[in-house]
Structure 1
Amino acid sequence: MAASMQLLRRTLSRLAPAVSCRQYTSFQRLPVRTPPAPGAAPPPARTYCRPAEAPGPGPGPGPDPDSRSRYQDKPWEYLDSDEYVEKYGAEPVWTGYRRNHKGGIPPQRTRRTCIRGDKVCGNPCPICRDPHIRVHPQNVKLLQQFVSPQTGTLYDPSRTGVCMKQQKKLQEAIVTARDQGLVPLQVPYVDFTAEDYSNSHAAVGSTPPPPTLTRGDPWYYWYEALRPDEEQLARVRKVYRDYLK
């Protein structure tokens, strides 16, 4: 036991100078930072982000501008764009739309509005779900999608699925567009003939002409055959005796 302890001590004594030397040689002196002068500007902060390079005139594509601002002033241009054709095709914007509701029968009235402040409801209406669509009197192609071609009336919101806020905007825009002549106003055609308003009409011609009358005679002879009940006549005269002269 004593021999093993002595052997361990000799081994540690041999290794101690090497460990201390390595620790001393690996030590490096830290640089001393001098404080800046009171009037000098502070050194710029180091950053690892590089500014984005501006697109040059080369063939490379530049940054895509905000698509919403392109159609904000002229919303009717969106319906002629390739983006609209790729999304909706030749169908109206409300084709295939189904509102979230319980059961298989939709409610009679749609929601009041789809966007309240910063909150958007689930599955908004066909107009509120697309930020490029805007109801405007000059957006004729959009207004014609909500007008029946047979009757010229506005579709009910239960069919198109738009909210009541957008339905009110559609009504006002259609009235304004019709006043400005942008949307045609359908007036039913009536074939007027003077024969319908003449005395030779079949319903008028079947009535016999009145006979030559003298004072006190009835207009038609069958008036004399109609005699009221005396009891009912007496009761009516009693009720209205204050008004009879």
Structure 2
Amino acid sequence: MATSFRSVVRTVFRFTPSILHTPRQYQAITLRLCPALQQFALPSHSFCQAVTLQDNSTIQAAEALSRYKDKPWEYLESEEYIERYGANPVWVGYRRNHKGGIPPQKTRKTCIRGDKICGNPCPICRDSNIMIHHQNVKLLQQFISPQTGMVYDPIRTGVCMKQQKKLSETINTARDHGFLPSQIPHVDFTGEDYSNCHDAVGLTPPAPLKSGDDWYKWYGAITPDENEVAKVRKTYKAYLKPGL
């Protein structure tokens, strides 16, 4: 009896596809009145799925990236940056993952290769809101020594070589535009540097030779070979003045 009832229901659903598109309340009433039709009912799909925590973090990261894209220096003044780094530079406390107790003498070439990200990215690659820009002065100052004005070595900051090269180029650009001061060594000048008694800036001494004298004394005692002179005159006959 159950087998024949199922075959009848299948036939009805095959020739009347409109039943499949019945509203949800009628479908629930039908299943409540006839539980045997429950195995033929459509699965309840929810088109408004709840957003997970991972999706929320992804959306927030995308919004922050678009917010700080035009003005990356605003991120260093935001509450998010202060809560994460405080008053310290972004590279303070960073430690690269490596084998053994002795760290490598060079940082990695890059932290992101295509879609692959290393296990512990460098201080710049790990935070998508940190953007290297020549107007982002507060970020660039964190990688410059206040005593010497030299850029910190990547071994100290842990920055990968790709970001280190970009940092050096951006710091030079910021100095050219006047956003960062240029370190010029101080030179103490003495009174001799301003005097005109030096040979290079004084009067030209008189020539040691008189007109008609040879520069070298032995030059006038040399007698040239007549055959060689004849060959030279023959070769350059067309260029010599008449009488020579």
The match for 2:154 is 157
Q: What SS does the aligned partner of 1:66 have?
A: helix
Q: Deviations over 1:187-220 (max 9, x none)?
A: 12223232467699xxxxxxxxxxxxxxxxxxxx
Q: Distance in 2 between matches of 1:103 and 1:91?
A: 28
- Alignment of 1:85 with 2:63, yes or no, is no
Which residue matches 1:43? 21
Aligned length in residues: 168
Task: State the partner residue of 2:168.
Answer: 171
Unaligned runs of 5+ residues in structure 2 are 23-41, 51-58, 198-244
Match of 1:144? Answer: 141
Report what 1:183 is aligned to: 180
Structure (1 or 2) with the greater helix fraction: 2
SS in 2 for 1:176: helix
Once the two structures are superposed, the pairs formed by residues 67-86 of structure 1 within 5 Å of their partners are 67-86=64-83
**Deviation digits for residues 63-112 of structure 1 (CA, Å, limit 9, x no counterpart):** 95733222223221111100000000111001111112234432221110
Q: Larger Rg: 1 or 2?
A: 1
- For 1:131 and 1:80, locate their aligned partners in 2 and report how far apart those are by CA, in whole Å: 16
Q: Please, which of 109, 113, 118 is the counterpart of residue 112 of structure 1?
A: 109
CA deviations on 1:156-197 (whole Å, 9 max, x unpaired) are 111111000000100111111111111111212223232467
Counterparts of 1:103 and 1:125, CA distance in 2: 19
Q: Where does 1:1-245 land on structure 2 (aligned, <5 Å)?
A: 33=12, 35-36=15-16, 43=21, 47-49=44-46, 51=48, 66-195=63-192
Give distance in 2, aligned partners of 1:197 and 1:108. 49
Letter paired with 2:157: T
What's the TM-score once normalised by structure 1's chain length?
A: 0.57
Distance 2:86 2:126 in 1: 17
Letter in 1 for 2:21: P
State the AA in 2 paired with 1:130: D
* DSSP-derived class of the 2:167 partner: helix
RMSD: 3.6
Runs of 4+ in 1 over 6 A off after TM superposition: none
Per-residue deviation, residues 19-53 of structure 1 (Å, max 9, x unmatched)? xxxxx9x9xx678536358xx8x837774426479
Following the alignment from structure 2 to structure 1, what is the Cα–Cα distance between the partners of residues 69 and 101? 37
* Letter matched to residue 157 of structure 1: P
Letter of the structure 2 residue corresponding to residue 138 of structure 1: Q
CA–CA distance in structure 1, aligned partners of residues 141 and 186 of structure 2: 21
Greater shift in the superposed pair: 43-52 or 108-117? 43-52
Take 1:47 and 1:68, find their aligned partners in 2: how far apart are those partners?
37
